[in-house]
């Protein structure tokens, strides 16, 4: 099977749920099924507009009810653990992550934890949860000399995260996006004797990566689940031997790309023009479509960096810029901020990629996307600053009134 780069981009977007029409009505089941489709939903707490997991789902589902995400977590359909990063994960995948929880116990406490807590604190927190039930970090009083800071957690919070890391605790639910911890056996009982071994886990995750990316060269496989390259290659080799992975060619690249055999009929439909990418959407910096910066450059030609941690004078595009997806390509980025008390969405700047022109189609589609984005956030007043692409900002301002 031979594909163009346009075909490969469409395959990625289709696998990521970004080619289908937005559903007219959504339910909590749509949230569950989309996370199963993505396999991982990265958690990030930056809320300049909305936290990343909510944005990722909005880009695919449209105006769903945000509380559904934490509802399905509390109902036991999801769990939290480390994957690509800290992620919401389908509960059906718990067995594969359990192996890493158990292995971390054998490795002993990690260096950062060791510096920030004592075994005595861990024992006390463990006993407190066992005797009193689910707890928040806020349920423990701060020491009189505690100094607040981004990573300057109180010792009980460090102990909770340590026990979570080792799989003794799980996140039972969230309240106000704050984690509520409980014993693993009370949240999701599991027989550790059934836990798969690492080769089976790597094979499964490479298989899921192929499904999630549509088609990919070997260089981009490891990042989706943050595997070591040698483990990703071992998983791919096993899938090639079984026929589950299939090599294909992509125009302009002499090296093979790979697809899951179940994706081949979809790839043929893309080649035949039956599946196209026409969605206009704003993407979170932690969206699976863009989180691998080398893949983003290789497939879309976009050099992207989140500038949250860049000092303001050195920022080129803005604090929390969102890439703009339009008709199968990433055409630019905008820097938004939701002023919730004022019910106002501010677009501080809009920038287009080199060679992209703000034609009528882009203006119309982006205006519709911004209107839906603002309404979903509860910030119906849209203020677009004349920064970056001033003509585009002006045209959008007129379009949006």
pLDDT at 199: 97
Q: Which fold has domain 109-187?
A: Arc Repressor Mutant, subunit A (1.10.10)
Q: Which of 83-87, 165-169, 191-195, 309-313 has the lowest mean pLDDT?
A: 309-313
pLDDT, tens digit, 9 for 90 and up, residues 116-141: 778 888 999 999 999 999 999 989 87
Distance of CA 374 to the CA centre of its chain: 21
- pLDDT surpassing 80 at residue 295: yes
Q: Which residues contact 152 (CB under 8 A, 6 or more apart)?
A: 146
Q: Pick from 337, 242, 326: which is nearest to 289 by CA?
A: 326
- Best CA proximity match to 205, nearest among 287, 83, 117: 83
pLDDT at 153: 73
Q: Could you count the other beta carbons within 10 Å of the beta carbon of residue 76?
A: 12
Mean pLDDT of the chain: 94
Would you list the domain boundaries of the chain?
Answer: 2-90+195-271, 109-187, 302-400
Please state which architecture CATH assigns to domain 302-400: 3-Layer(aba) Sandwich (3.40)
Question: If you classify domain 2-90+195-271 with CATH, what class do you get?
Answer: mainly alpha
Q: Report the percent of the chain where pLDDT is more than 70.
A: 96
Percent of the chain surpassing pLDDT 90: 88
Burial class from Cβ neighbours inside 10 Å (0-12, 13-18, 19+) for residue 181 reads buried
Please check whether the two domains, 2-90+195-271 and 302-400, share a CATH topology.
no
pLDDT category at 145 given cuts 50, 70, 90 is low
- How buried is residue 156: exposed, middle or buried, by Cβ count under 10 Å (0-12/13-18/19+)? buried
pLDDT at 109 exceeding the cut of 90? no
Decide the pairing of beta strands 169-175 and 178-183.
antiparallel
């Amino acid at each position: 099977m031979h594909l163009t780069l346009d075909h490969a981009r469409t395959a990625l977007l289709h696998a990521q749920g970004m080619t289908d029409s937005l559903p007219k009505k959504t339910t909590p089941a749509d949230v569950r099924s989309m996370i199963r489709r993505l396999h991982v939903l990265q958690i990030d707490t930056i809320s300049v507009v909305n936290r990343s997991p909510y944005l990722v789902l909005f880009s695919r589902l449209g105006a769903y009810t945000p509380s559904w995400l934490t509802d399905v977590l509390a109902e036991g359909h999801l769990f939290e653990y480390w994957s690509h990063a800290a992620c919401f994960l389908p509960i059906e995948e718990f067995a594969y992550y359990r192996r890493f929880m158990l292995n971390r116990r054998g490795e002993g406490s990690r260096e950062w934890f060791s510096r920030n807590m004592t075994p005595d604190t861990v024992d006390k927190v463990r006993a407190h949860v066992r005797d009193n039930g689910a707890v928040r970090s806020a349920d423990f009083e701060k020491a009189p000399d505690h100094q607040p800071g981004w990573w300057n957690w109180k010792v009980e919070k460090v102990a909770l995260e340590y026990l979570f890391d080792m799989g003794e605790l799980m996140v039972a639910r969230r309240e106000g996006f704050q984690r509520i911890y409980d014993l693993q056996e009370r949240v999701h009982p599991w027989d550790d004797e059934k836990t798969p071994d690492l080769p089976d886990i790597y094979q499964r995750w490479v298989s899921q990566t192929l499904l999630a990316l549509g088609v990919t060269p070997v260089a981009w496989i490891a990042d989706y689940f943050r595997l070591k390259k040698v483990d990703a290659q071992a998983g791919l080799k096993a899938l090639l031997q079984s026929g589950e992975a299939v090599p294909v060619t992509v125009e302009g690249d002499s090296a093979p790309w790979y697809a899951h055999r179940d994706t081949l009929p979809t790839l043929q439909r893309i080649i035949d023009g039956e599946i196209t990418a026409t969605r206009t959407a704003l993407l979170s910096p932690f969206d699976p479509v863009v989180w691998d910066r080398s893949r983003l450059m290789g497939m879309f030609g976009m050099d992207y960096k989140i500038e949250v941690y860049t000092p303001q004078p050195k920022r080129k595009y803005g604090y929390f810029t969102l890439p703009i997806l339009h008709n199968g390509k990433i055409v630019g980025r905008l820097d938004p901020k939701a002023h919730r008390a004022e019910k106002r969405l501010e677009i501080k700047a809009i920038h287009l990629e080199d060679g992209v022109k703000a034609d009528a189609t882009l203006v119309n589609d982006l205006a519709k996307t911004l209107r839906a984005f603002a309404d979903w956030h509860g910030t119906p007043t849209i203020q677009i600053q004349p920064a970056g692409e001033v003509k585009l900002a002006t045209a959008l301002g007129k379009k949006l009134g």
